[in-house]
């Protein structure tokens, strides 16, 4: 059950469905695979409009290239980070097993670029550049959020790629900031330690649950639980819930923060579809990301 308040926002999401099953990236805009995948996951988590969920999965399948990737735009095949999102959206549907298999194979064959750090880089870059994760653009370096999303997708498969996931977990731990939290993926630049942000921290913690010891991420959990992360913006609220929920720490405060973020649309205007769907999914699942992909936890 979504409740009256959430139902109003779900109705707004449903109105963005296109006749071909895809979802518009915003009201009155064109469709995009990331919007379609997040909409499918949000609706599935709420057990709403399941015919639209099936249509969205079919639209993602139509957007999948023969090599398995799902690009953001047909004319930009290198921007293939929505592949992990499509995989997540397909996972609960056995009829999409072949799509899942091809997407996973593409992700495994296209990690982020990596190299041993030389002496010159040592003075500039704080993290270990030799570790492999995933990226936003094919052929570029690994970053926190695409690595976390790929880990969530590949880790939920029937036979997860254990070695690749273990290395990706090491990458995330290596990118953790000294006082806790993550940003987009840099720890230090020219001896200056950078600052964390709630969204990236939530992504990393969600992906590391079950792959790292609680002690290894204790400062990051404390950071995400802090008042500085209690921000009623859609992505901060959603990933605070997912990050803490992965470690059994999400509660009514996190759900309330998501609801508050959703209500802020009355003041600031409608969110784009990925933001709206992520916030809805976090609220309706109470921070349990597994609910979005057919899990029970």
pLDDT in tens, 142-160: 999 999 999 999 999 999 9
The whole-angstrom separation of Cα 280 and Cα 11 is 11
Q: What is the pLDDT of residue 3?
A: 66
What is the percentage of the chain residues whose pLDDT exceeds 70? 98
pTM of the model as a whole: 0.96
Q: Where are the domains of the chain?
A: 3-293
The whole-angstrom separation of Cα 220 and Cα 178 is 9
CA-nearest of 156, 161, 94, 150 to 293 is 156
What separation in angstroms does the CA of 281 have from each of 1, 148, 199, 291?
12, 17, 15, 9
Q: What is the pLDDT of residue 85?
A: 98
The whole-angstrom separation of Cα 58 and Cα 39 is 13
The whole-angstrom separation of Cα 15 and Cα 23 is 9
pLDDT in tens, 175-207: 999 999 999 999 998 889 999 999 999 999 999
Q: What is the pLDDT of residue 64?
A: 98
Q: What is the pLDDT of residue 296?
A: 63
pLDDT in tens, 103-122: 999 999 999 999 997 777 77
Please compute the mean of the pLDDT values over residues 35-61 and round it to a whole number: 98
pLDDT in tens, 51-68: 999 999 999 999 999 999
Q: Classify residue 296 by its DSSP letter.
A: -
Query: Is the per-residue pLDDT at 1 higher than 70?
Result: no
Q: Where is average pLDDT lowest: 2-6, 17-21, 124-128, 264-268? A: 2-6
Query: Is the per-residue pLDDT at 209 higher than 90?
Result: yes
CATH class of the domain whose range is 3-293:
mainly alpha
Buried b (16+ CB within 10 A) or exposed e, 213-243: eeeebebbbebbbeeebbbbbbbbbbbbbbb
Helical (H) or strand (E) element with 170? helix 162-175
> What value does the mean pLDDT of the chain take?
95
* 228 Cβ contact list (under 8 Å, min separation 6): none
Please compute the mean of the pLDDT values over residues 133-150 and round it to a whole number: 98
pLDDT in tens, 235-261: 999 999 999 999 999 989 999 999 999
């Amino acid at each position: 059950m979504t409740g009256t308040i959430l139902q109003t926002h779900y109705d707004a999401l449903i109105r963005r469905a296109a006749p071909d099953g895809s979802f518009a990236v915003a009201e009155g805009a064109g469709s995009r695979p990331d919007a379609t995948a997040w909409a499918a996951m949000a609706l599935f988590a709420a057990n709403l409009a399941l015919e639209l969920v099936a249509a969205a999965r079919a639209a993602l399948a139509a957007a999948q290239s023969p090599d398995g990737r799902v690009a953001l735009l047909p004319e930009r095949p290198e921007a293939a980070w929505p592949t992990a999102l499509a995989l997540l959206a397909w996972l609960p549907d056995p009829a999409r097993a072949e799509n899942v298999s091809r997407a996973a194979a593409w992700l495994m064959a296209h990690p982020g670029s990596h190299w041993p750090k030389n002496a010159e880089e040592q003075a500039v870059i704080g993290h270990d550049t030799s570790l492999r994760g995933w990226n936003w653009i094919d052929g570029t370096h690994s970053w926190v959020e695409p690595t976390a999303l790929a880990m969530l997708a590949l880790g939920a498969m029937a036979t997860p790629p254990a070695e690749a996931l273990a290395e990706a977990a090491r990458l995330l731990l290596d990118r953790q900031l000294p006082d806790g939290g993550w940003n987009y993926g840099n720890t230090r630049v020219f001896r200056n330690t950078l600052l964390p942000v709630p969204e990236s921290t939530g992504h990393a913690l969600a992906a590391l649950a079950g792959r790292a010891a609680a002690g290894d991420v204790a400062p990051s959990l404390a950071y995400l639980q802090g008042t500085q992360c209690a921000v009623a913006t859609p992505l901060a609220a959603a990933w605070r819930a997912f990050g803490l929920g992965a470690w059994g720490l999400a509660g009514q405060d996190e759900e309330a923060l998501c609801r508050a973020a959703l209500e802020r649309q009355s003041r600031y205007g409608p969110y784009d579809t990925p933001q709206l769907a992520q916030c809805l999914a976090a609220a309706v699942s109470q921070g349990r990301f597994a609910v979005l992909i057919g899990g029970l936890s």
